[in-house]
Structure 1
Amino acid sequence: MDLPADCGDHAPLDGPSYEVMFLLDDTTSDAVGVLKSTLHDLGDSLVVAGGPDRYSVHVHVDDVAAAVNAAVGSGHAHRFRITRFADQRSMEPPEFAVLALANGQGVAHQLQRAGITTVTDWRDEAALCARLGRSGTLFLCAAPDAYDAARALGPDHHVVVVGRDSAQAIAAAAVLDPAAGFDQLCATAREAAGDVASSRVVGDPGDDALMGQIRDLIGVGGDAELVTLVTGEGLAAARIDGLLSAVRHERPSLEVTHVAGGVGEPLLTIGVE
């Protein structure tokens, strides 16, 4: 793999100069823990998702060589993609853009897997404006505050804002056709998000109450076919397994999907389609 010749020499004032992404196989949980610690010290915007057989890693750094060395020392690291932000900024903005605004690392990874450009630093209005399309931007928002941030861009920018939680954003992202025109993308996203009955649980009411909220939403969905549970870091693995098992036991005809949303996500987001 060829690295850029000037790695680490031109860090912008507002953060690291490079985005590094790769896949990691043939590793262990201990090795992944060490990798996370190393990359955290090297830069920011760290996302490590997936596992245990394959991890997807994303980080912003100045020292690309150090990041790559940490990767190859942690297992079978491959499919590297290294981008210098200065090169991105020099490119003309696209005619229109589709951007997903996310908090949790797991949600960001899920949206990226759907082929959507995902922004986690969306609270920086200048950084967000730099990503807008020339003639329009579709925002898929995975949180109420992300929805507010996109709407706050005002009439100077042609923006269409869809979704107020991770379940709605994930549903919209899953059905978008990159080859479609802007108006068609917006209509499809609105329809998909509108078909999701959803609820965000911020506090912890206990497992019985959580299951009650899931039942209520399934009832609202009527002929529901899919239940998506997006969990935050506050919900332990045993409790997640219990909820998933209970839903599958009570409604075996439903497809049940779990997304580990991680830090930044509420305790539980429930989506029913």
Structure 2
Amino acid sequence: MAQVPQTFFDALAVRTWCSLALEALGRAREEIDAINVYPVADGDTGTNLYLTVESAVAAVEAVFAAYDDGKGTPSLADAARAMAHGALIGARGNSGTILSQLLRGMVQVLAADRGTPHTDGAGLRLALRRAADSAREAVAHPVEGTVLSVATAAADAAERTNGDCGAVARAAHEGARAALEATPRQLAVLERAGVVDAGGRGLVAVLAALVETFTGESPGAVLGARARAAHARVDVEECADDVLEEGGPAFEVIYLLEAEDTAVARLRTRLDALGDSLVVVGGDGLWNVHVHVDDAGAAVEAGVEAGRPYRIRITHFAVGDVHTRGGAERPVRERAQRAVVAVVPGEGLAGLYTEAGATTVLARPGEPPASGELVEAVRRAHAREIVLLPNDADLRHTAAAAAEQARAEGIRVALIPTRSAVQGIAALAVHEPGRRFDEDVVSMTSAAGATRYAEVTVAERQSWTMAGICQAGDVLGLVDGDVVVIGADVTAAAETVLDRMLSAGGELVTLVLGDDAPEAIADHLEARVRESYLAVDTVVYRGGRQGTLLLIGVE
């Protein structure tokens, strides 16, 4: 369906731009992956950019969904901040991290005045300049011939243009295209491979989507002899060997970090001494850290000293079927026959699932994973057969989309519609990799379905529930997703919920405690089960920061 051109840069334009940018990167993803030779020829820049923008889209859509009940539309500031936050928490790889900072730089201008419903061409010019400048500031050692050069050229071209948002966007896109064509003359590795910079190519696609947002017209494809080389698969192995022979680090380390500005300044200095390709983006207490190092553990430890790192991803740079470093070759691990991929709501449960052999995707409160994260986890599991546990009713469509994409890549995927982490625990408990795939899936599905689930949480705002009207701060007890108890005491509400669940029978109670749960609640509930329900066992786990005070499962 054709997009309606936007006259001004408002919340709807942010939404449209994100959607068009995701479509553009989806079309160009394989092409961009194919020309990815710098800073490491790991062939994933297009995929990383796509996943970064997918996260931005999800965040913007969540803001608009909050207004679906007739409240109007979000402000430009709200939509722009959501876009930048989504890109920050979902940023992948070097280029994705830089793109997230480009968007954050734009938002510093677009959201400067929360009362302004929209901005014009002059505002867009300022936003593009701030984007380019902030991205350079975030990179420890900026290199010309990369996405930074393309972003700077786009901002320069925009500043030379007078007119509305459409005219500014078109000028920025044309300036970026010209700069992209020049990247091989600036960076020797691109010249040798006969390609343009992959990150810059992705930014041109994103700017083309900006043009379409304001004009309704999509600029032509990137042309030129060097750009056409993108359609031929680059000899990634040869380029990677060049990088490794020059002493490139062995690992890529990425994590989100909750930390103060002063601690992050010290972290930059320490990571800069450990490796290269250092990019630290973000602000307001939340940062995305990206670095290439030989000592991945030291990079993570530096984050621990600075604050609280999470969503830690460590990738060993591999070439073909061997890891190469210093002349040594180690075979890549064989693809397993079967693996389990599960979404988990807290670090404690992530550890539990990992110990049980599952590959986990961490879902923080208010930050559900995108389908791309689930696909990435499926690939990381490195198995021919995958059992996918979303562990959240709201993730069923996201998980289904991820399963379809993985199947398109030749992986056999079974999606078990678990609606809570306790159902996932029950499914994982009966998982037997040596069984026939269908039999294993049936057994796990049966175990999950036989587990009733509940949670105890605190209401964030006044709302109507099946148990009546609750106020912000009330303790809520939910069984199978419906509120059944509204109270003031966490332990009392948990006991009421547990009694209601066990009234229908049960053999095993699973309690998963969040960090904010009362200290004595587990002992109290265990005693309650022991005294009132004969032959019912209780098991307790620490879930960490899981968004709810308590999860309960009854099998």
Of the three residues 183, 186, 190, the one matched with 2:438 is 183
Q: By how many angstroms is 1:110 displaced?
A: 1.6
Preserved contact between residue 8 and residue 64 of structure 1 (Cα < 8 Å): no
- 5+ unaligned residues in a row in structure 2: which ranges? 1-245, 256-266, 272-290, 303-313, 322-331, 459-474, 476-486
Aligned position for 1:138: 387
Q: By how many angstroms is 1:164 displaced?
A: 1.1
Q: Aligned partners of 1:120 and 1:256: how far apart in 2?
A: 25
Q: By how many angstroms is 1:196 displaced?
A: 0.6
More strand by share: 1
Q: 1:129 to 1:234 in 2, by over 3 A?
A: same
- 5+ unaligned residues in a row in structure 1: which ranges? 1-5, 17-37, 43-59, 71-82
Preserved contact between residue 399 and residue 415 of structure 2 (Cα < 8 Å): yes
More helix by share: 2
Aligned position for 1:215: 499
Q: Aligned partners of 2:359 and 2:404: how far apart in 1?
A: 23
Matched, 1:243 2:545: no
Aligned position for 1:101: 343
TM-score, normalised with respect to structure 2: 0.34
SS at match of 1:227: strand
Aligned position for 2:512: 230
Q: By how many angstroms is 1:248 displaced?
A: 2.0
Matched, 1:110 2:352: yes
- Superposed CA deviations along residues 113-147 of structure 1, whole A, max 9, x for unmatched, are 22222232782433422324676531123333444
Aligned position for 2:429: 174
Matched, 1:123 2:369: yes
Q: Aligned partners of 2:358 and 2:450: how far apart in 1?
A: 20
Q: By how many angstroms is 1:216 displaced?
A: 0.9
Aligned position for 1:55: none
Q: Aligned partners of 1:197 and 1:176: how far apart in 2?
A: 19
SS at match of 2:254: coil
TM-score, normalised with respect to structure 1: 0.64
Instruction: Return the structure number with greater relative CO, CA threshold 8 A, min gap 6.
Output: 1
Q: Please tell me whether Structure 1 or Structure 2 has the larger radius of gyration of its CA atoms.
A: 2
Preserved contact between residue 350 and residue 360 of structure 2 (Cα < 8 Å): yes
Matched, 1:255 2:537: yes
- Superposed CA deviations along residues 234-257 of structure 1, whole A, max 9, x for unmatched, are 212122322222222222421011
The AA in structure 2 aligned to 1:200 is E
Matched, 1:9 2:249: yes
Aligned position for 1:66: 298
Of the three residues 173, 184, 197, the one matched with 2:452 is 197
Q: Aligned partners of 1:88 and 1:266: how far apart in 2?
A: 43
Q: 1:140 to 1:69 in 2, by over 3 A?
A: closer
Preserved contact between residue 340 and residue 359 of structure 2 (Cα < 8 Å): yes
Preserved contact between residue 386 and residue 413 of structure 2 (Cα < 8 Å): yes
Query: Which of 106-115 and 83-92 deviates more?
Result: 83-92
The AA in structure 1 aligned to 2:371 is E
The AA in structure 1 aligned to 2:495 is M
Preserved contact between residue 167 and residue 198 of structure 1 (Cα < 8 Å): yes
Q: Aligned partners of 2:301 and 2:437: how far apart in 1?
A: 41
Alignment of 1:11-50 (within 5 A): 11-12=251-252, 15=254
Q: What RMSD over aligned residues (CA atoms) do the two structures have, in Å?
A: 3.7
Q: Percent identity?
A: 29
Q: By how many angstroms is 1:108 displaced?
A: 1.3
Aligned length: 215
